[in-house]
């Protein structure tokens, strides 16, 4: 059986791709799934987080592959044969590697913040997923808890033509604090609001992935 592949993609830098990839990977690994992460961003932030993680005592095991160029597809396929879930973190553009990563995905996660720049960039990433015939899910990140902006932005994103996850992530320093220590939020502060948000998102993504083929 091969793993489900979730690719985190968004042309805009700083939208939350690496944040999402790392915390989701840990959330799923802690539920008992074998998780592999693939870092195809030359900035290699996920790889740096992973190096930090090697020093964490009792960290739940996760596998990492850091690859670029023509090897992306074969590495994702190879890893997918040995784990239950593969999470791919991609660079902030839509060039060859990102396209390959989108093509390899069962679901493309698109983190997007409540800003016009993120909104405009998201359309391009949804179009990329559509051109590769892949399901996409927009994840609203750094959302204010309530208020008019949150509702307005959800509406604007929904108009782009991809589903918007019900679960949203607030702006929470704990997400960054955890990554700095090489852990996920579910390890760093398991009962925090941030961990609950990430767990709700992880569960929703699983529901949307549907049963294994
Ligand atoms: N929900 C959030 N709350 C607080 N900070 C966040 C959140 N999501 C992302 N960040 C911060 O925003 C910055 C960019 O996030 P990152 O995951 O590196 O984006 P990308 O990988 O898309 O470039 C980082 O400093 C990260 O800690
Ligand atoms: Mg990144």
Q: Whose atoms come closest to the Cα of 185: which ligand?
A: 1
151 band by pLDDT with thresholds 50, 70 and 90: confident
What local confidence, expressed as pLDDT, does residue 157 receive?
97
Q: Is the dihedral of CA 130, 136, 139, 140 positive or negative?
A: positive
Q: What is the C-alpha separation between 35 and 130, in angstroms, rounded?
A: 26
Residues in the chain: 213
pTM over 0.75: yes
Residue of 9, 16, 144 with the most ligand 1 atoms within 8 Å of its CB, for mutation: 16
Structure confidence by residue, pLDDT tens digits, 96-107: 889 999 999 999
Q: Is 91 in the pocket of ligand 1 (CB under 6 A)?
A: no
Q: With 80 as the cut, is the pLDDT of residue 54 above it?
A: yes
**Average model confidence (pLDDT) for the chain?**
95
Q: Is 193 in the pocket of ligand 1 (CB under 6 A)?
A: no
What local confidence, expressed as pLDDT, does residue 2 receive?
87
Both ends of the chain: CA-CA distance in Å? 9
Nearest protein Cα to ligand 1, atom 9: 16
99 touches 127 (CB < 8 A): no
Domains detected in the chain: 4-208 (3.40.50.300)
190 Cβ contact list (under 8 Å, min separation 6): none
């Amino acid at each position: 059986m091969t793993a489900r592949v979730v690719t985190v993609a968004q042309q805009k830098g700083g939208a939350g791709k690496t944040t999402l990839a790392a915390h989701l990977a840990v959330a799923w690994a802690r539920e008992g799934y074998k998780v592999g992460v693939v870092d195809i961003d030359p900035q290699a932030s996920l790889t740096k987080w992973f190096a930090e993680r090697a020093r964490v005592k009792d960290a739940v095991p996760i596998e990492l592959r850091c690859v670029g160029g023509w090897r992306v597809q074969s590495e994702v396929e190879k890893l997918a044969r040995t784990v239950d879930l593969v999470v791919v973190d991609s660079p902030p553009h839509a060039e060859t590697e990102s396209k390959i990563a989108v093509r390899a995905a069962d679901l493309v996660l698109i983190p997007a913040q409540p800003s016009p720049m993120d909104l405009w960039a998201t359309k391009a990433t949804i179009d990329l997923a559509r051109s590769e015939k892949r399901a996409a899910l927009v994840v609203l990140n750094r959302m204010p808890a309530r208020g008019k902006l949150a509702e307005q932005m959800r509406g604007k994103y929904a108009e782009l033509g991809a589903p918007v996850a019900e679960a949203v992530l607030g702006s929470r320093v704990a997400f960054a604090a955890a990554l700095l220590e090489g852990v996920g939020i579910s390890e760093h502060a398991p009962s925090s609001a941030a961990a609950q948000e990430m767990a709700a998102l992880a569960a929703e993504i699983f529901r949307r992935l549907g049963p294994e083929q």
